[in-house]
């Protein structure tokens, strides 16, 4: 078994290194995102690589959750992630995942749409479902929702398994915590 750790990061944004060690064969892919579609281009690149795919975005501290996600038998896994007003423009934080009718209000074991802040996508799911050609044009802010909508549209029962552990989004503004 092997894993691919995909680290998309902004050209001029803070980058939080991942301190992660595994006995599994690991490919670390650092992917600078200079324009709006670079995130999708990187995802297309790693989609075909062997091993479970772990996404850890540059502004999320979630490396401590990698072992839990990798050891889970589910094909699609994410931890709970709070989005703060600095990211959403809302007046308070909200959970990043959606049940299809809006953001969830509390932990749910499965959701229809998930933020890729920290996520695992199994190799078996990726091998059975090549990304659609149009995915190369997804903008950085729509990659997670576009991916979730595409997986849902395949009508194979794909849902994101949500772990109750929380990844920390570094755009947290203490006044709104």
Using one digit for the tens of pLDDT, what is the confidence trace for 94-114?
888 888 888 898 999 999 999
Both structure tokens of 31? 């992917």
Backbone torsion region of residue 55, taken as left when φ is above 0, otherwise alpha when ψ lies between -120 and 50, otherwise beta: beta
- Phi first, then psi: what are they for 65, rounded to 5°? -95, -10
Residue 2 is predicted with a pLDDT of 66
Query: For 126, phi and psi rounded to 5 degrees?
Result: -65, -40
pLDDT at position 6, please? Answer: 75
Please state, in angstroms and rounded to a whole number, the distance separating the CA atoms of residues 110 and 127.
22
Structural domains of the chain sorted by starting position, each given as residue range(s) with its CATH number in brackets? 2-80+107-166 (3.90.550)
Q: What is the CA radius of gyration of the chain?
A: 15
- Check whether 157 has a pLDDT greater than 90: no
Number of helical (H) and strand (E) elements in the chain, helices listed first: 5, 9
H or E segment to which residue 146 belongs: helix 143-153
Rounded to whole angstroms, the Cα distance separating 133 from 131 reads 6
Q: Are 177 and 129 in contact (CB under 8 A)?
A: no
**Angle (deg, nearest 10), helices 38-47 and 143-153:** 50
Read off the pLDDT of residues 42-59 as tens digits, 9 standing for 90 and up: 888 889 888 899 888 877
């Amino acid at each position: 078994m092997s894993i691919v750790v995909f680290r998309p990061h902004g050209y001029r944004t803070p980058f939080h290194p991942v301190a992660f060690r595994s006995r599994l064969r690991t490919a670390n892919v650092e992917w600078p995102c200079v324009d709006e579609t670079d995130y999708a281009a990187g995802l297309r690149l790693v989609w075909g690589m062997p091993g479970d795919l772990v996404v850890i975005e540059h502004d999320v501290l979630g490396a401590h959750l990698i072992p839990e996600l990798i050891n889970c038998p589910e094909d699609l896994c994410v931890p709970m992630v709070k989005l703060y007003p600095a990211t959403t423009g809302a007046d308070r934080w909200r959970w990043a995942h959606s049940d299809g009718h809006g953001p969830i209000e509390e932990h749910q074991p499965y959701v229809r749409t998930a933020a890729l802040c920290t996520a695992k996508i199994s190799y078996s799911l990726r091998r059975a479902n090549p990304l659609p050609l149009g995915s190369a044009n997804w903008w950085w802010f729509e990659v997670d929702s576009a991916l979730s909508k595409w997986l849902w549209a395949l009508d194979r029962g794909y849902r994101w398994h949500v772990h109750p552990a929380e990844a920390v989004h570094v755009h947290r503004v203490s006044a709104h915590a």
